Homo-oligomer: A and B are copies of this chain.
């Protein structure tokens, strides 16, 4: 990250993809007091019963939120990408059954809770943007529910890979290829599948020429066919386009 660039700019840029902001609002968001931290891979960003006094913004790297069933099986319920506010809900709720963990090395900004609430009062449009981002998280959750509940394993895997492709590319012109930030075991924990079966589905997509892998880097030679097979449409990721 270059010097002299406000670290929160990545968050503001993200908010502006779905909500228009005025100069004042943008300035107020960038002026939020914050402290920067770096977390290692596989450490908790937010833990059960942890501190509720700060809001965490993901600046670089990836993180995920998970829950656990009685038998120890894990379900990943959200994945966060740079610019995301990863625990906005903890401004309002005492959440004890969910954990947020770094998927890679991450840079985050911690913003005091009071500053967030005050911002929402003084700059309604900025508060509106924050709430909107949380509502989009809900949209994604519900699409995941559909994915897990009503699509077969291959379609599920393909759908998730498509979603990441869109979420990780900032602009529409970017090629559909990226570095998958997680293991197949973690994919399984997102999709409600076992590691073994995820592997077989990935290989099956590869065998059909819909996916090319070089290590963790994947590309999609035939994006349109893949989307059709995956039952994927990016509409739920960009709900306010054309409105």
For the complex, give the distance between the alpha carbons of A148 and B242 in Å.
Answer: 33
Q: Are A192 and B94 in contact (CB under 8 A)?
A: no
Q: Is the CB of A75 within 8 A of B145?
A: yes
Could you write out 19 A-B pairs with CB less than 8 Å apart?
Answer: A67-B143, A67-B145, A67-B146, A69-B146, A73-B151, A75-B145, A75-B146, A77-B145, A78-B142, A89-B135, A93-B132, A97-B143, A120-B124, A131-B131, A137-B138, A141-B142, A145-B148, A148-B149, A150-B192
Are the C-beta atoms of B95 and A239 separated by less than 8 Å? Answer: yes
Asked if A135 contacts B93 (CB within 8 A), the reply is yes
A128 at the interface (CB under 8 A from B): yes
In the complex, which residue of chain B has the Cβ closest to the Cβ of A241?
A: B94
**A145 and B135 contact, CB distance less than 8 A:** no
The answer on a CB contact under 8 Å between A146 and B92 is no
What residue of chain B has the Cβ atom nearest to residue A69's Cβ? B150
Q: Given A94-B239, A135-B89, A136-B93: A67 and B148 within 8 A (CB)?
A: no
Whether A236 is near chain B, meaning CB under 8 Å from some CB there, is yes
Nearest CB in chain B: distance from A194 CB, A: 11
Contact surface of A with B, Cβ cutoff 8 Å: 65, 67-70, 73-75, 77-78, 89, 92-98, 120-121, 124, 128, 131-132, 134-139, 141-146, 148-151, 191-192, 231, 233, 235-236, 239-240, 242-243
Indicate if the CB atoms of B142 and A77 lie closer than 8 Å. Answer: yes
Name the residue on B nearest A228 (C-beta): B70
Could you tell me the distance between the alpha carbons of A136 and B93 in the complex, rounded to whole angstroms? 8
Distance of A243 Cα from B52 Cα, bound (Å): 11
Please determine whether A95 and B192 come into contact, CB atoms closer than 8 angstroms: no
Would you call B77 and A239 a contact (CB within 8 A)? no
Contact B138 A75 (CB under 8 A): no
Complex Cα gap A134–B137 (Å)? 12
Task: Tell me which residues across on chain B come within 8 A of A94, comparing CB atoms.
Answer: 239-240, 242-243
Are A138 and B235 CB-contacts (below 8 A) given A74-B150, A121-B124, A144-B145? no
A154 to B57, CA, bound (A): 39
Q: Flag if A131 contacts B92 (CB, 8 Å).
A: yes
Pair B142/A92 contact, Cβ less than 8 Å: no
Interfacial chain B residues near A146, Cβ < 8 Å:
67-69, 75, 77
Contacts A92-B131, A97-B236 known; list 17 others, CB within 8 Å. A69-B146, A75-B145, A75-B150, A89-B139, A92-B135, A93-B132, A93-B135, A93-B240, A94-B239, A94-B243, A95-B139, A98-B142, A138-B138, A141-B142, A145-B148, A149-B191, A149-B192
